[in-house]
Amino acid sequence: MQTLRQQMAGSAKRAQATTTTTDAGRLQGGGARPSVASLRARVEERLRALPDGDAPERRRQARRLFLESVLTWEFGEQLLLDTNLTHLFDQLQATLDDTDMGRELDGVLDGLLASR
């Protein structure tokens, strides 16, 4: 997790360096990081928007939405401007495959998806 934080911090700095001050303020919301409760609400909202369908594909999409939500919560919306982000998410998902952490995350996401 520490390595991921370092990589994401570097990625966020690169993305921020390429945005104007106005854009960065707009993307960041101009304030402090939202609460964990607002992060949870955001994740739940985004998961509700997922269409019903193929379970493995839906799980992959749910993981992606979760990772994107958490990382932008941690490092700011400007992170989404990084051109390497897709590759990073692919690596994160591959790393989670067939691990205890990945199975735990899938269990949490399955519970959230079932409650929608």
Task: Sketch the domain layout of the chain as residue ranges.
Answer: 2-114
Whether the model clears a pTM of 0.85, i.e. scores above it, the answer is: no
For residue 67, what pLDDT band results from cuts at 50, 70 and 90? very high
Of the candidates 64, 85, 76, the one whose C-alpha atom is nearest the C-alpha of residue 34 is 76
Identify the pLDDT of residue 115: 78
Identify the pLDDT of residue 105: 92
Q: Which two tokens stand for residue 116?
A: 């929608």
Average confidence (pLDDT) over 73-102: 89
Average confidence (pLDDT) over 13-17: 57
Per the document, the length of the chain is 116
Taking the C-alpha atoms of residue 85 and residue 79, their distance in angstroms, rounded to an integer, is 8
